[in-house]
Amino acid sequence: MTLEILQEGIVILIDKPLDWTSFDVVNKIKFALKKKFGNIKIGHTGTLDPKATGLLILCTGKKTKAIESIQNADKVYTGTFYFGATTPCYDTEKPIAQHFDISAITNEQLHKNAESFLGEQEQFPPAHSAVKIDGKRAYELARAGKEVNIKSKKINIKKFELTNIQLPYIDFYVECTKGTYIRSLANDFGARLNNGAFLYHLRRTKIGNYTIENAETIEQFLEKIVTL
């Protein structure tokens, strides 16, 4: 890796750790590259929530022109729903707000419910999301206690399988188009059964042809820079 190569552009695959924002990762790597090579243009190709782990793709130099095309690629996620409760942000970042009775829920109902989400549909992003409303992030408005009116987005869930059910925990596998919020999927999954659910764990494993198997931890990438 040289300054010329970085300016020409490389694609960096990072396995984002829990509780890091996507910007935390970009800033950490950008600072390390700047210290070693000087200013390098760098950006990421799609935000992962702090409570999610997995594949985060960064591009440098001229490769930043490819960011949009990578963002447009389909995504694959694995994770776990907590069934029988809801939170304001649809994941574990905030405490449980409401509990539901799940004693009558069957595995058959859960599997049929998952099947009902397949295909093109309109989905509402969470109020606690990075969607912009009049120039401000939705989560900024939500945290300030202001009303958040988010428009729905067209998405396509191409595959949605429940891989293990041990209530209240439900493991899943999802293949979907860009812009799909798995947090919203969790909330809607519960609501469609007149119940509740939130995202307990999420891991992004694939974006287009890029896979988590080829990703490095932040520490591994930084160590590689140091040894150059």
* Selected catalytic residue, list 15, 19, 24, 49: 49
Distance of alpha carbon 180 from alpha carbon 175, whole angstroms: 10
b/e per residue 87-118 (b: at least 16 CB within 10 A): bbbbbbbeeeeeebebeebeeeebeebbeebe
CA 128, 99, 182: angle at the middle one, nearest 5?
35
- Please say whether the beta carbons of 81 and 169 come within 8 A: yes
Is 49 in the active site? Answer: yes
- Please say whether the beta carbons of 92 and 202 come within 8 A: no
Active site residues: 49
